[in-house]
Amino acid sequence: MDRKEFRDLASPAEAREAIDSLSLEGGVDRVSLAEARGRVLLARIDAELDVPGFDRSNMDGYALRARDTFGADEADPARLSLVGTVHAGEEPDVTVAEGEAVEISTGAVMPEGADAMVPVERTDEDAGDGGDSDGDDGTVDVLVRTSVAPGDNVMFAGADVAAGERAIGPGTRLTPRDIGLLSALGREEVPVRAKPRVGIVSTGDELVRPGEPIESARGQIYDVNSYTIAAGVEDAGGEPVLYPHAGDDPEEMERVLREAAAECDLVLSSGSTSASAVDVIYRVIEEQGELLLHGVGVKPGKPMLIGRLEDSGPRSDDAAGGSIPSTGESAYVGLPGYPVSAMMVFRTFVAPAIREAAGVPEPASATVTGSMATEERSDQGRLRLMPVGVTTDGNGDRLVYPVDKGSGATTSLAEADGVVEVPAETDYLEAGERVDVRLFSPDVRPPTLLGVGEDDPTLNRLLDDLENPRYLSVGTRPGLRRLRNGVPDFAVVAGPLERDVEASELGRWTREWGLIVESGNPREIEGLADLVAGDHRFVNRTTNSGLRTSLERAIDALADERDVSRATLTEAIDGFDLGLRAHESPARRIIAGSADVALGLRETADHLGLEFVSLGGQPVRVLGALDRLDKRGVRELADRLED
């Protein structure tokens, strides 16, 4: 078998079938009511007792024989002898005979002999006549000013729930009201589906767990997929188990894979695309299971690998006390390595299978419908999983826009809300076309406000005061371009603009820009002239940035003054062409020791403890899209800007 060839790609439907054919179910857990919320009942619960368990007074008043009240009314009350009292939680020590009444509290047991009760509001107490007409003899009578029928104001034993009745069906996902019903039945423990255990195995020598130190020079990056997929597993009703990072060592990887297969219902690995990792996975599956398919006609996700791993015996840590033995096998799915790709393939193929096994249906809110904000071309031939962001237009209609920063970009995670499946046959999505977006999780809240443009510290603070905004710091020029394309609600632009924009200025402020240098300014940079004259390692911003535009204008002015070309000056600056994307990045190169002078803001220099050489003030403007000015988020932003 050639392990690198995917010429015969399985169809997405075949991949789904293969995953469905695997047994992911986890058996049974017995949980107490305090832990039952959200769990899925495994078996029907019938009432084992009557609720209430006794004939119960519905109100405060008097228990009596209904027959004794017949004909009574306001004008002509029935007179009964008070013979005792019953409180809630007490066993009655009195019975009611003809002509007698017993004071009774709400919820108390109806005393023997009584078949109805009258609420206290329809009665009065009176000195008793002791059965004769002598008047006060220390006894008390009750005057009943209404007539009642047998059963009135009494809840009979079992009237609420009767023993033997079907109470809650199997498969019910327990919500507070179900927990209420189980409480009423006195059930303290219920059998629920065990959550499918999903082992997450991360491989790759370059990956480091978050929280540990990283060596960038060695090309290390943080492991994004482990915690992300773990959270996705929880969302889908599974129980994630993170295994120790196995690096690229084949023996260690094999050990971890076998351990995970023995302990879990499903094992997921991601990014094991190196030849050695694939070899190990193949070997383990061949020796101990079955490969169902390798290679699926889906983009991304082509190298997806689906198999079955047998394990060596029942689990030792079965939470259900071992009452359900291990099924003897574990499913295995290999996910792509890039975070957005891994999340999309997980969401599309794996999460539904976990939900099915967990008995937790996907909430309807996990899929939303919207219109494509822009047109989008797609290659034919493979199902495309397209990461998209979701926003709303001025009418509150949902807009869907593709997010394509390259699948290696983790920032797509911040921008993408979900995935649109573009069928293999579709080569073109029109602007305005309706699409279904499967949100990455039901809790994903698309932003209430979408902004693009310049990176700016004042803006960052402003955004903190708004509810759920999304801001993409793509720079001034791409921000304007996107604003014209009609997706974002506002753009933030800095520095001089090259052309007019059709937009409404929501607010503006000024920021001081210039050169950032080491603390103490050892190179004695006082302005642009020094930058051009000396032999300094400079770090610029990208041409997308408004700061870069302002710098170029200042260089042009200096060139005019000296009557030389711009290029003469920029070529004299070592590093002028190295532009970094974010506003703090150049200054951080100074701290790292790899630069002497950086383009930046006074605020950045202050924040990082560096020195600042001002080259001027620069306007920062917030421009609202004309069709979004009434949108709530935009109005809130405008209000903040006025403050």
Which residues within the stretch 54-73 sit at the binding site for a copy of itself (CB under 8 A)? 54, 56, 58
CB 524, min distance to a copy of itself, A = 26
Nearer to a copy of itself by C-beta: 307 or 475? Answer: 475
DSSP calls for 96-143: --TTEEEEE-TTPBPPTT--EEEEGGGEEEEE--TTSSS--SS-EEEE
The CA distances from residue 499 to 481, 507, 554, 616, in Å, are 11, 19, 19, 21
In the bound complex, what is the minimum distance in angstroms from residue 105's beta carbon to a copy of itself? 8
Q: State the nearest-atom distance from the C-beta of 541 to a copy of itself, in Å.
A: 10
Q: Please state whether beta strands 140-144 and 123-127 pair in parallel, antiparallel, or not at all (unpaired).
A: antiparallel
235 contacts a copy of itself (rule: CB under 8 A): yes
Minimal distance in Å, beta carbon 421 to a copy of itself?
A: 18
- CA dist 573 and 529 (Å) reads 10
Report residue 442: phi and psi, to 5°: -60, -20
Cis peptide before 92 (omega within 30 of 0): no
Q: Which of 82, 120, 140, 242 binds a copy of itself (CB under 8 A)?
A: 242
Instruction: Kindly identify the residues of this chain, within the stretch 601-630, that bind a copy of itself according to CB under 8 A.
Output: 604
Indicate whether 364 belongs to the interface with a copy of itself (CB under 8 A): yes
Asked whether the beta carbons of 142 and 101 are under 8 A apart, the reply is yes
Given 5, 7, 89, 313, the residue binding a copy of itself (CB under 8 A): 89
State the number of CA atoms in the 13 A half-sphere of 330 facing the CB: 28
Q: Show contacts with a copy of itself in window 164-183 (CB under 8 A).
A: 164-183
In the complex with a copy of itself, which residue's Cβ is closer, 148 or 293?
148
Site for a copy of itself in 571-600 (CB under 8 A): 580-585, 588
Shortest distance, position 542 Cβ to a copy of itself, whole Å: 9
Residue 275 to residue 273: CA distance in whole angstroms? 6
Name which of residues 100 to 119 contact a copy of itself (CB under 8 A). 105-109
Q: What is the largest CA-CA distance in the chain?
A: 129
Considering the rule CB under 8 A, would residue 231 count as an interface residue with a copy of itself? yes
Site residues for a copy of itself, 392-451, by CB under 8 A, read: 405-406, 408-411, 413-414, 416-417, 440-445
Q: How many helices (H) and strands (E) does the chain have?
A: 16, 36
Confirm if 437 and 370 have CB atoms less than 8 A apart.
Answer: yes
- Residue whose C-alpha is closest to residue 154's, from 186, 114, 183: 114
**Contact mark string toward a copy of itself, 131..160, x via CB under 8 A:** ------------------------xxxxxx
How far is Cα 366 from Cα 442, in angstroms, rounded to an integer?
A: 4
Nearer to a copy of itself, 159 or 291 (CB): 159
Binding segment (CB under 8 A) for a copy of itself, from list 205-213, 373-381, 491-499, 550-558: 205-213
CB of 583 vs a copy of itself, minimal distance in Å: 6
Interface with a copy of itself in residues 512-571 (CB under 8 A): none
458 touching a copy of itself, by CB under 8 A: no
